[in-house]
Amino acid sequence: MVIDHHLAHSYSVIPNLGNQNTLIFTLDGEGSGLCATVSVFDGKNIIRISESSKSASLGYLYAAITTCLGMKPLEHEFKVMGLAPYAKKDKVQTLFEKEFSKIIWLNGLEFKSGFDMTFADCWYFDKLKYERFDNVSGALQLLVEKINY
């Protein structure tokens, strides 16, 4: 039997919920063609109310930036996150406005993107090859912080 990737993540929290109504949010790189879901657990059933395509994956975006910075994707993303606080705020803001501000956004409960994140590494390598690594990390962090605005 095959189970949907994000549904499996959702089921994994049920033993901790009891019978209470709960909102369940999943988010990862990609599984079963999706990168995120929003579901409601009513005490007995999981009802998915929103899903986001892998083409708008924050995980893919982080992997692409990790690759562009010369690190190992799907392993060194924590390094990208750790570099962000060392960036100069004015440089981060400029790079954010120029290259990051319109990449991924929320449309209601669904992530959307300006282009398919599965090809983000090709796009970003060209756009960011002359930027400092800490400023790139900071601009990505700023995107994640502002994504709900």
The model's pLDDT over 52-64, given as tens digits with 9 standing for 90+, comes to: 999 999 999 999 9
Comparing 41-45, 67-71, 123-127, 131-135, which segment has the lowest mean pLDDT? 123-127
Tell me the pLDDT tens digit for each residue of 82-139.
999 999 999 999 999 999 998 999 999 999 999 999 888 777 888 898 999 999 999 9
Q: Is the pTM of this model over 0.75?
A: yes
The half-sphere exposure of 127 on its side-chain side, counting CA atoms within 13 A, is 15
- For residues 48 and 69, membership in a common domain is answered with no
DSSP string over 17-65 = TTT--EEEEEEEEEETTEEEEEEEE-SS-EEEEEEEEGGG-HHHHHHHH
- For residues 109 and 134, membership in a common domain is answered with yes
CB atoms within 10 A of CB 69: 21
Q: What is the mean pLDDT of the chain?
A: 93
- For residues 140 and 105, membership in a common domain is answered with yes
- For residues 30 and 81, membership in a common domain is answered with no
- For residues 48 and 87, membership in a common domain is answered with no
Q: How many domains does the chain have?
A: 2
- Domain span including residue 42: 5-53
